[in-house]
Structure 1
Amino acid sequence: MGTGRSALLLDQFDRARELARVRLTGLGDDEYLWEPVPGCWSVRRRAEATTPGAYGPGDWVLDKGAPDIPAGEYAEVVRQAAAGMSVAKIAADWSVGTGRVEEILARSGPPEPDLAPVTTIAWRLGHLHSCLAGRWEWTFGDRRCPPRLLVDFTPYAATALERFWATADRWRAGLAAVTDAQLDTVGLSQYPSGSDPDDPFVDVVWETNVELVHHLAEIALLRDLWRARFGDA
């Protein structure tokens, strides 16, 4: 392992991927789609989806709610505003009104609890797949296809994993060719769902790694809960 920024970020990505491959071994369809509580977000047939922002190009879509800024991103909104980003630009990045951004900037006191819904393994894996596919397309690809149309979601665990790892490997190959100067390039990623066009690429890579570790850890916990409840059934 090298000690430069690129080498460290790649090693972090590889380590997360290695751990996840072990933890995802043997994932079956029932476990993949298991909803541990009522009201979960998941992968659903288009006709059965009830969330207002559910998306995907095919017969199966990924649940998504109305646009908002989750509590976990409040600190990032404050940082962006302090760095000079306009309220209008922050609002556009999150597809919310400027009033919502101003409300967050005016807050004081401890952070609010994040009331995001519980999500299935299918949802978490689909969300990660969509994120990696979108970032690859808008960094190394043609920068044309809307992120909402890049991933054909599936109710089958083996198919989802095969597609996810292929996309993860493609993203990793793109990162391996990035130069140190490109890491400092603002807007190297033009991924439209967020602040990528305004950020140095090193921040984008770091944030993508955080997202990968965050959701893969949640998937691992759901697998533990499934095993504790259902055993080998």
Structure 2
Amino acid sequence: MNGQDHRRTDRLSMLIEQFDQAREMAQVRLKGLGDEEYLWEPAPGSWSVRRREEAVTPRAYGPGAWVIDKGAPQIPASEYAEVARQAADGMSVAKIAEDWSVSAERVEEVLAFTGEPEPDVVPITTIAWRLGHLHSDFAGRWEWTFGERRQDPHLLVDFTPSAALALERFWETIDRHRASIATLTDEQLDTVGLSRYPYGSDPDDPYIGVLANANLELIHHMAEIALLRDLWRARGL
């Protein structure tokens, strides 16, 4: 047709196209991932996927013998502005505290803070952790949007020390996500609370925003995994 590009440019099609491109790039970058690299801890104190009895964080979770590290709930300094935005938008201190899984007193501390917060000290994470975090996030949000909306998101992913098995399960989960979002209508995209995911602000947001954030999660965590793969290859040079 005169050489012009006639791809659809409606909101959903653009987000799906972005998702498809990110998935394709991720699959290429993850080709050949082995177990040792998958579990490689690039620095002391790294968070990872590990045996339940060897968990090093207070809220490590998972339904089986292997769990993913998770620390105590907090509001990182990088999110102080987001907390202020939530309050400015009319969200109560109690609701903000529930959203971040912290006490109301902690929220009040953040809202009263002035000046420039100290940079966050965050743990280094393994490829296993990044992939597990993504898998858990996509599985939980699918369950609380398209599923029965009752299963604990922390119990949906059976974490594994096998890179091949983890990837197989991960691709299945995000492909299910892709198939489900492809059926959405414009009305559903604009529906506040279409996702009832119990952690975060999903129930208070139009689903188009939730969907855009899911793409962002996939893109930025896969970029981190790609960098970890580069560092793994360069570690002995």
TM-score range, shorter chain: over 0.9
What SS does the corresponding residue of 1:172 show, helix, strand or coil?
Answer: helix
Moved more, 22-31 or 99-108: 99-108
TM-score w.r.t. length of structure 1: 0.96
Tell whether the 8 Å contact from 1:70 to 1:116 is kept in structure 2 after alignment: no
Residue 38 (str. 1) matches residue 44 (str. 2): yes
Which among 200, 209, 212 is matched to residue 206 of structure 1? 212
Does residue 48 in structure 1 map to residue 54 in structure 2?
yes
**1:174/1:230 CA distance change after superposition, 3 Å:** farther
Runs of 4+, deviation exceeding 4 Å? none
Match of 1:93 among 81, 96, 99: 99
What is the alpha-carbon distance in structure 1 between the residues aligned to residue 120 and residue 219 of structure 2? 18
> CA–CA distance in 2 between the matches of 1:177 and 1:111?
43
Matches within 5 A, 1:147-226: 147-226=153-232
Equivalent position of 1:138 in the other structure: 144
Q: In the alignment, which of 71, 83, 87 is matched to residue 81 of structure 1?
A: 87
State the alpha-carbon separation in 2 of the partners of residues 122 and 72 from structure 1: 24
| % same residue | 72
1:91–1:101 Cα contact (<8 Å) kept: yes
Deviation string, structure 1 residues 204-229 (Cα, Å, up to 9, x no partner)? 11111111111111100000000111
Q: Residue 12 of structure 1: SS of its match in structure 2?
A: helix
Q: Displacement of 1:114 after TM fit?
A: 2.2
Q: Secondary structure at the match of 1:166?
A: helix
TM-score by length of 2: 0.94
Deviates further, 164-173 or 111-120: 111-120
Q: 1:227 aligns with which of 212, 229, 233?
A: 233
Cα-to-partner distance string for 1:122-152 (whole Å, 9 max, x where unaligned): 0000000000000000000011110010000
1:54–1:10 Cα change, 3 Å: same
Range moving further from structure 2, 57-66 or 175-184: 175-184
Extract unaligned runs of 5+ from structure 2. Answer: 1-6
* Residue equivalent to 2:3: none
> Which range is displaced more, 209-218 or 116-125?
209-218
* Cα distance change on mapping 1:87 and 1:126 into 2, 3 Å: same
Correspondence for 1:10 among 16, 25, 28? 16
Which residue in the other structure is 1:70 paired with?
76
Partner residue in 2 for 1:124: 130
